[in-house]
Amino acid sequence: MDEDVSVIIPAYNESSCILKTLESLRGIEIIKEIIVVDDGSTDSTYELLKPLKDIVLLHIEHNKGKGNAVRYALDHVNNHLVALLDADLCESALEIIKLIEHIKPGEKAIIIGKLPAPKKKGGFGIVKRLSGSSFQALTFRRVDSLLSGQRILPLDFLRSIDLPNGFGLEFKITLEGVRKGLEIIEVPVDMQHRESGRNIKGFIHRGRQCLDILSIIRNEIK
């Protein structure tokens, strides 16, 4: 394995987790670059990151969404492979090693972290069912971890597609990956991140995610 990896971490109001996530990635030899995009945080995330000399820190003044943050970071990537990770993984970000183990030099693939079942009840499965059934209708393929934000993929592929701004990012990436013939590899990982419950904040998050995915689906069937 001689492929180096750049990590992109979009971060919005992640002051409680971001430093733990970064610490877990240090020392992984194949990771040569960590790019953190502060996406208009209103807490102390950006201030905590500014003193760090071993990351590339980018700052977006106003929050514009995960997809926009990733797109902004692509111009600063210096390796052929990109790992997309959520900022709130904390110590479990170390599980990226399991994805790295599936890298094969020269092979075009999207390696997706398959997270364990949530520990608490969130929504009612509407987003998952909508995305899964729509994806199968569009591609005749099933991907269990379609919405997982933890993945490794080629930089040139990421740059070749029109990334959406918001929470439909993973759906769009996987859809285009299948269409362009990339192998989809799902790897079980013990990554843990903040779970949204059955409360107002959780329903708002899932509602936005659902709308973003619906927007992509509408564009696909026009």
Bridging pattern class, strands 151-154 and 81-84: antiparallel
Phi, psi for residue 195 in degrees, rounded to 5: -100, 135
Chunked into runs of 10 residues, the chain (222 residues) has average pLDDT values of 87 97 96 98 98 98 94 97 97 98 94 86 73 92 94 97 88 96 98 70 69 85 72
Q: For the CA atoms of the chain, what is the radius of gyration?
A: 16
Contact, 92 vs 192, CB < 8 A? yes
Distance, in Å, from the CA atom of 79 to the CA atom of 3, rounded to the nearest integer, reads 8
**What's the whole-model pTM score?**
0.90
The one-character DSSP state at 12 is S
Distance, in Å, from the CA atom of 213 to the CA atom of 218, rounded to the nearest integer, reads 9
**What fold characterizes domain 5-119+148-193?**
Spore Coat Polysaccharide Biosynthesis Protein SpsA; Chain A (3.90.550)
Burial 21-33, CB ≥16 within 10 A → b, else e = bbebbeebebbeb
